[in-house]
């Protein structure tokens, strides 16, 4: 039995990196001599131009499939880490030592199963820390991902590099476990109004398989009021229902997000909303005729504008036609208010469009 053959067999059997000192003990030779033998092995495998290579990762050595063949052999490889488990591991690696309770707060109770399996695989360790535990990676983590060192700073830098190469900023968010806010397309402008930068626009009402995976990265989800039951079939995190019919609705929506918003931006936006509301109320004061709201939505607009209400007043209705109950609420209305399906622009611009439609209609009718 040759020393080089024994080292080769050990690297093949291990399935992970082995340090030079361990190999030296295996063949009962000085460490320096073993390092030379491994270098010969590395050269031998490189000369073969085969599908296997031996890598030197800082006096630790690993035998592995060359990257150009990984897709070919993937069906025959041991089960890989699932995407959710990989994100949990990435958070631990990036933020280590990470308090387990903080991880659960961000990733949900499913992270307990991830932690258990990651410990069984030897990729992380858990050290008692008061009533919880501190989580950190093990040397096997570095071996598994082909890193030179298990040093936390080196791991953090490698994670950033990998995530940026793979999928840009969204990939970086996944790797780093940033606390992303999810928001349906209609409410994207609300993020700007609140100064929230770490968010993702996502269809939460009828998500695709890819969007379901993206929902796993969300810890708060902003949706339209009244859709909680529908969305909760796909998402089990915190759901924030908001409205956007009136300026009062917008102010309420901003308040619901104040604990994750930029205080200065919120102050600026609230000031803008209050100023706009005051201007519209002033414009509405010139109209003496009373109105009759056809729906609760219109009633909120009328209330915000402080218009007089009467059963004989001008009928104001939304422009969507049939209601959920099959009644055509738009038919015979004196004034039609545009609804979200017929509006573009930011939430503030949409509210202004509704108020403008009411005031323009009153001006026309009072001539």
Look at residue 170 and tell me whether its pLDDT is greater than 50.
no
Right CATH for 83-176 from 3.40.630.20, 1.10.540.10, 1.10.730.10, 1.10.10.10: 1.10.10.10
| Count of CB atoms situated within 10 Å of the CB of 20 | 19
Look at residue 160 and tell me whether its pLDDT is greater than 80.
no
Write the CATH number of the domain with boundaries 3-76. 1.10.10.10
pLDDT in tens, 312-333: 999 998 887 665 556 677 788 8
User: Do residues 239 and 257 lie in contact, with contact meaning Cβ atoms separated by under 8 Å?
Assistant: no
* Residue 62, phi then psi, degrees to nearest 5: -135, 135
User: Do residues 155 and 142 lie in contact, with contact meaning Cβ atoms separated by under 8 Å?
Assistant: yes
64 or 30, greater pLDDT: 30
Structure tokens at 184: 């349906």
Over residues 157-162, mean pLDDT: 65
The predicted model scores a pTM of 0.53
Q: Whose CA is closest to 137, among 161, 115, 170? A: 115
Domains of the chain: which residue ranges? Answer: 3-76, 83-176, 180-242, 284-365
> How sure is the predictor about 297, in pLDDT bands with cuts at 50, 70 and 90?
confident
175 or 46, greater pLDDT: 46
| Centroid of chain to Cα 318 | 35
Over residues 335-349, mean pLDDT: 83
Look at residue 337 and tell me whether its pLDDT is greater than 70.
yes
Is 3-76's fold the same as 83-176's? yes
Look at residue 178 and tell me whether its pLDDT is greater than 50.
no
- Bridge partners of 64? 53
> How sure is the predictor about 345, in pLDDT bands with cuts at 50, 70 and 90?
confident
Segments in 233-346 forming alpha helices (H): 247-256, 263-284, 296-305
């Amino acid at each position: 039995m040759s020393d080089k053959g024994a080292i080769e067999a050990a690297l093949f059997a291990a399935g992970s990196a082995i340090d030079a000192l361990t190999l030296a003990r295996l063949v009962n030779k000085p460490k320096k001599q073993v390092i030379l033998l491994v270098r010969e092995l590395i050269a031998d495998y490189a000369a073969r131009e085969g599908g296997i290579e031996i890598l030197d990762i800082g006096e630790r050595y690993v035998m592995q499939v060359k990257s150009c063949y990984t897709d070919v052999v993937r069906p025959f490889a041991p089960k890989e880490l699932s995407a959710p488990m990989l994100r949990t591991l990435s958070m631990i690696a990036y933020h280590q030592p990470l308090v387990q309770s903080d991880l659960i707060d961000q990733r949900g109770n499913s992270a307990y199963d991830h932690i258990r399996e990651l410990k069984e695989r030897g990729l992380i360790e858990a050290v008692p820390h008061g009533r919880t535990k501190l989580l950190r990676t093990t040397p096997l983590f570095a071996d598994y991902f082909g890193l030179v060192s298990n040093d936390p700073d080196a791991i953090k830098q490698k994670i950033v590099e990998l995530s940026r190469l793979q999928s840009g900023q969204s990939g970086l968010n996944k790797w780093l476990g940033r606390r992303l806010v999810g928001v349906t397309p209609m409410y994207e402008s609300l993020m700007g109004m609140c100064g929230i930068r770490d968010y993702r626009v996502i269809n939460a009402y009828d998500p695709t398989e890819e969007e379901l995976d993206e929902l796993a990265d969300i810890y708060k989800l902003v949706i339209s009021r009244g859709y909680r039951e529908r969305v909760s079939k796909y998402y089990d995190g915190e759901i924030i229902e908001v409205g956007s019919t009136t300026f009062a609705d917008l102010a309420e929506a901003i308040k619901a997000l104040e604990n994750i918003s930029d205080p200065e931006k919120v102050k600026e936006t609230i000031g803008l909303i209050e100023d706009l509301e005051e201007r519209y109320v002033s414009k509405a004061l010139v109209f003496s005729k009373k109105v009759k709201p056809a729906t609760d939505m219109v009633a909120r607009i009328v209330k915000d504008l402080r218009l007089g209400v009467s059963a004989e007043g001008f009928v104001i209705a939304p422009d969507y036609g049939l209601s959920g109950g099959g009644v055509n609420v738009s038919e015979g209305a004196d004034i039609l208010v545009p609804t979200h399906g017929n509006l573009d622009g930011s939430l503030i611009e949409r509210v202004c469009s509704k108020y403008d439609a009411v005031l323009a209609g009153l001006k026309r009718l009072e001539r």
